[in-house]
Amino acid sequence: MDIKLINGGVCAASGFKASGVHCGIRKNKTKKDLALIVSNTLCNAAAVYTTNLVKGAPLTVTKNHIADGKAQAVICNSGNANTCNANGIEIAEQMSELVAKETNINSNDVVVASTGVIGQPLDITPIAEGIPILAKSLSENGSQDAAEAIMTTDTIDKQIAVEFTVGGKVCRMGGIAKGSGMIHPNMATMLVFITTDVAISSQMLQKALSGDIANTFNMLSIDGDTSTNDMVTVLANGMAKNSEITAECEDFNTFMKALNTVTVNLCRIIAGDGEGATKLLECKVSGGKTLEISKTVAKSVICSSLLKAAMFGADANWGRVLCAIGYSGADVDVTKIDVSFISNKGEILVCKNGAGVNFSEENAKEILLEKEIIIDVKLNDGEFNSTAWGCDLTYDYVKINGDYRT
């Protein structure tokens, strides 16, 4: 089952075009703030949404639009979340109608998303003026522009695409994402738009997405805050001409592997670009009695503010790992736990059977000064493994969020 990384982002799959422009929502004219993705044909669609009770108006509109399992376009603005606005639903629907007018598709087949400041009125005027330009700019090479247009505090655009074979047909899948802060999801994360030319039913597409996020986006945390606008959508237009996947089978397993490759890559990119972050942290937990135990431990470690701060300072303070495991609520035997820190500079064991071991602080610091750190936790109590992603906690995180709105 060969999954090959390719270029192209959301335009890698056949029949998809994208664009991104500055329309005027954001004051900085050098930053794009409006993105559009369109398929040549109607797609089967699936989505997952934030569990926050306070939800952006676009999520409500999108959920209604794809209730029939169909969509053909995605419109997304940055700079304003369109959340807690009295006329938020009206604005989101207007965005759909404007896209429909310029692309000759049904307004009910438009996914709507917004990201940015919560509680600020969103003026439709710049969006209405920008969408005609956005539609004219649609291109098979437009993924870069779209990825830039959905960024807020992100410092890099986030894209991935893969190529694989289903039923003897070459298929492609690509995604773009935004997310740097307010990331601690219970369903998905930030905004992620995935496109594919695989023929797969809406029901199986939803099953694939819901199954995947439990071990990918649900295992990603930057700062412990779950956003109001988190959403992951997948559009599948079937243009690869494979026999439609309508049940669990070998083709479905291949699709799941491709989807997982896309989502894991996006998780790593997002975690490494956390607000103010200097390091990508990956906690690998093995030997849990159950999958839930391993997942709980991994997430608790990656969410620990004390551990995140220690990683920023390249301090091999392994006690903070044990502390996070201890309050996680997971059923573990602390006397069996081993902990190691790993990076490109090597691996160092810092805890054995729940107790400290002699190790070189100098070597440990050299390992922890790298940009990507693995926190390897062996529970030695079963056969279940899990991985979670996050980043270090730095001075800049506070600076960014101290004046985010103003």
Residue 220 or residue 380, greater confidence: 380
Of 50, 152, 189, 228, the catalytic one is: 189
CB 166 within 8 A of CB 31: no
184, pLDDT greater than 80: no
268-271 LR contacts (CB < 8 Å, sep 24+): 268/389, 269/156, 269/158, 269/160, 269/177, 270/158, 270/177, 270/179, 270/180, 270/183, 270/189, 270/190, 270/220, 270/222, 270/389, 271/220, 271/222, 271/389, 271/390, 271/391
187, pLDDT greater than 60: no
Task: Quickly state the pLDDT bin for 147 (edges 50, 70, 90).
Answer: very high
188, pLDDT greater than 60: no
**65 three-state secondary structure:** helix
Longest dimension (CA), the chain: 68
CB 255 within 8 A of CB 198: yes
Percent of the chain with pLDDT over 70: 96
Mean model confidence pLDDT for the chain:
93
Confidence at residue 179, expressed as pLDDT on a 0 to 100 scale: 81
Summarize pLDDT for 47-61 with one digit per residue, the tens.
999 878 888 899 999
CB 281 within 8 A of CB 392: yes
What DSSP character marks residue 229? S
Q: Can you read off the two tokens belonging to residue 143?
A: 């993924």
Summarize pLDDT for 151-178 with one digit per residue, the tens.
988 888 999 999 999 999 999 999 999 9
Summarize pLDDT for 285-304 with one digit per residue, the tens.
999 999 999 999 999 999 99
Half-sphere exposure of 124 (CA within 13 A, CB side): 15
Q: Can you read off the two tokens belonging to residue 170?
A: 């070459």
What DSSP character marks residue 289? S
CB 49 within 8 A of CB 228: no
Distance CA 278, CA 188 (A): 23
Confidence at residue 381, expressed as pLDDT on a 0 to 100 scale: 97
- Report residue 288: phi and psi, to 5°: -80, 155
Alpha-carbon torsion, ordered 78, 233, 159, 256, to 10 deg: 170
- Of the listed ranges 15-19, 304-308, 366-370, 375-379, the one predicted with least confidence: 304-308
Distance CA 324, CA 315 (A): 16
Give, for 175, the enclosing helix (H) or strand (E). Answer: strand 169-178
CA distances from 195 to 46, 173, 185, 381 (A): 11, 6, 22, 40
404, pLDDT greater than 90: no
Residue 338 pairs with which residues in a beta bridge?
A: 378
Dihedral over Cα of 344, 350, 354, 357: its sign: positive
Known catalytic residue at 189: yes
**Contact residues for 237 (Cβ-Cβ < 8 A; gap 6+):** 13, 14, 15, 16, 39, 40, 41, 42, 43, 44, 195, 196, 197
- What domains are defined for the chain? 4-272 (3.60.70.12), 280-402 (3.10.20.340)
Distance CA 200, CA 207 (A): 11
Alpha-carbon torsion, ordered 99, 119, 267, 9, to 10 deg: 20
